[in-house]
Amino acid sequence: MAAVVLELPLLPVRVTCGFPSPAEDFFGVTDLLDLNQRCIDNPVATFFVEADTGESMEGFGIGPGDTLVVDRSKHPRPGDVVMVLWEGGFTVKQLRQRAGRFELHSGNPANAAILVPEDVELDVWGVVTWSFRKQLRR
């Protein structure tokens, strides 16, 4: 399947989240942005998945209902947020390694880390590379 190019205007400024600069009264569109080019390195190994309704990953910027971009071709490294197959279901956690063992951490300190036993091979399905959050009437 051929990738569809959908270029949208990219403004030539970074928007502040505080008080706007009076110097930015006018600006023209100088570039185009294709979300496929920005967010997807390997189209055949990338898929989208919706985050569950839980709040365990909000400390890592992933909220209930967010859309995640997962790349199966990326080699997971400690510190990456990954999608793993664990105990018969998929979960998204931050991958950490301590004393040669893998740990899966949520973004909520109230949740205990999942310690992967030494004799269990961790089945990482992919690395979460982006997340999108709907802002309008979410």
| Residues identified as active-site | 56, 93
Residue pair 82/76 in contact by the 8 Å Cβ criterion: yes
**CA–CA separation, 32 vs 99, rounded Å?**
46
Instruction: Report residue 25 as tokens.
Output: 């009264």
CA distance 88 to 127: 19
Sign, CA torsion 55/60/62/63? positive
Distance CA 138, CA 51 (A): 14
